[in-house]
Amino acid sequence: GRQRLLVQKRGALWRKFGFSAEDYRELERLALRRAPPRRRQWKFAGSFYFAITVITTIGYGHAAPGTDSGKVFYMFYALLGIPLTLVTFQSLGERLNALVRCHLLAAKRCLGLRRPRVSTENLVVAGLLACATTLAFGAVAFAHFEGWTFFHAYYYCFITLTTIGFGDFVALQRKPPYVAFSFHYILLGLTVIGAFLNLVVLRFLAASADGSERAARDPSPRHQGAPESRGPSLPRCLAGSGGYTSVSCHVHQLEKCARHNVGFSPSSSPGVVRGGQAPRPGARRKSI
């Protein structure tokens, strides 16, 4: 059928232009290199692949809607799909971090630690190892299926899962099992990367809270020679909270701490009423 027609066409070109077998292979290689990777792109598998690259903001650029109606549809599709996708991956990332924390806590208990506690640093290290493992696994698989080198496959996985999507390397849709693997790898990899980024943001929030707390607990004198205030220091709201919390929960804790710390004032100031109790009559201040 089709293969026989291609062989006949190739024989006709050889007879007409006098191509040798080596010249024809070189011409065929150049033609394939210049051709855009649009093979089967608008069948169901290719369309589904394109839709995933839209809502995940990967955007390889290997395919684009050609009609005006298609462009209008994908503008509305992106406005609706991108926020939902971001919320979904953020929620899945938080649940994945909670699962990792449970496993780390169980591992520390198995090791016989007296007070097992999983800190944010432990989760960040575990997330970094999970990201490296995910990238390496994808690099091995795509190097096998696409015929790329390991470096190029690792580069493709990094560009894809960080949603940069240059488009210089694109996994083509060839066989249904390979297409299914690509879908699952992209979705799982984006979940792992999202969980790791959630941990990094949480760590920066904790560092910012610690810095502001140290500044509040270290009062500076108002002028030269003024005595330092001996009032009660602000409570350490987040110290000792070794358990994992989400970013939204962390922000809620910071707001709660700020509300509790509003009423603090130096104890050396005159006329201060502590704890809502009225001052005892006849009580006199002792001078130093």
DSSP 34-54: HS-S-TTTTSHHHHHHHHHHH
pLDDT of 231: 45
What does pTM read for this prediction? Answer: 0.64
Query: Where do runs of H (alpha helix) occur along 147-278?
Result: 150-161, 176-217, 247-260
| Structural contact between residues 85 and 92, judged by C-beta atoms closer than 8 angstroms | no
Residue 232: what pLDDT?
Answer: 44
The alpha-carbon radius of gyration of the chain (Å, integer) is 31
* pLDDT for the residue 223: 45
**pLDDT recorded at residue 68:** 94
Class for domain 43-211, per CATH? mainly alpha
Torsion of CA 13, 16, 17, 18, to 10 degrees: 90
Q: Which residues contact 245 (CB under 8 A, 6 or more apart)?
A: 202, 253
Tally Cβ neighbours within 10 Å of residue 96. Answer: 19
3-state secondary structure of 206: helix
Q: What is the DSSP letter of 274?
A: P
Q: What is the pLDDT of residue 274?
A: 44
Tokens standing for residue 81: 């799909």
Contact (Cβ atoms closer than 8 angstroms) between residue 221 and residue 227: yes
Q: What's the CA gap between 19 and 193, in Å, rounded?
A: 51
What are the residue ranges in the chain where pLDDT is below 50? 222-243, 262-279, 282-288
Sorted by where each begins, the domain ranges of the chain are 1-35, 43-211
